[in-house]
Amino acid sequence: MLNVANLHPAGMVLSSMATAIQGIYNMGTSVNEFIDDHIDLMKKSENSTVSKTGRVLEMAKFGFGLGYMSSVTIIATGQLLLGNTLAAAGTVATAVTLTNPIAMTCAAFGAIYYGWNALSDAERNELLDKLRAGLEIGVETIKAIIAFVVKTTNEILSPENIAEFKGFIKTYAAKFGRSLSDVTGRMVDILKDAAEQTVKKSSEIYESTAGVLSEVATQTGQVASSAAEATSSAAKSALESTGAMLGTTSMAVKGAVGKASEAASETAKGLYVRTVDAAQQLKTSKAKPGLLAVDTSKAVADEEVAKDIHPPKV
């Protein structure tokens, strides 16, 4: 149940914009207590920029007689300058800011210090109307609080402290889609943002190109590997085919040689048999000399008969 007495110094329920701030900082029901604790934590910080900003916030709370509403007005003004519309307490941007309320307050102070005077008269009037309607307090009171922040910040914080505000602004403005130069409107910040964007784009292009080249190299390697595998497979197949052909040729030669050898063997065997037969016959003839003698005497007798029939001429 909402504790109404802790929400507004006059005992009324918080306005829509104050409720948004309450949600951003997760203040709970006791807004006044949260603001006191928040200021105390900032003043105790070892960071001099944070601690001095806490002092200014405390001075604003007790100096205007509005209690925590002066602190809420400072935070709300800074939020609008950073780019937060404060349209609702439950937005995504609201959830992001909960990570570090102290840093968010420093960003709000920085946005007022650098951004308020960077606005045109029309832009300032438009912003004042939003704050008046959202916070339900007078425009002159809002203007006085803003002027107090700028003046007192210059008096209490060093130039180094004030320059450190830019780091807070850059971090939290980016959460709402804005840059440092969008808030400050200063040429030096515009040039710095442009340079950073150039470096960022160059880095993105490099990473993209590197990614493409890596992919090309991978694809090329895969193609080369496939080609090598195909070549190896073809060579292996050719070698196997050649081996098979050599095997077939060897079998054919072996068969031909075998057949020729068999034929030669048969021929030699036949010659050997005939030679043996002839030798055997010759041996048999030598073993029977009478046969040769008869034949010889018969031949001599025949020759003598011829001589008698045909005597030689004288």
- Tens-place pLDDT, residues 129-147: 999 999 999 999 999 999 9
Amino acid type, 92: V
| pTM for the structure as a whole | 0.59
Quickly list DSSP for 93-116: HHHHHTT-HHHHHHHHHHHHHHHT
Quickly list DSSP for 241-302: HHHHHHHHHHHHHHHHHHHHHHHHHHHHHHHHHHHHHHHHHHHHHHT-HHHHHHHHHHHHHH
Q: How far apart are CA 173 and CA 97, in angstroms?
A: 11
Q: Nearest CA to 54 among 163, 152, 137, 173?
A: 152
pLDDT at 276: 57
Non-local (6+) Cβ contacts of 142 within 8 A are: 73, 77, 128, 131, 132, 135
Residues of the chain with pLDDT under 70: 1-12, 88-98, 186-206, 208-212, 214, 216-217, 220-221, 223-228, 230-314
pLDDT at 299: 45
Q: Which helix (H) or strand (E) segment is 73 a member of?
A: helix 68-82
Question: Hey, is 177 helix, strand or coil?
Answer: coil
**Tokens coding 40:** 């105390």
Amino acid type, 55: R
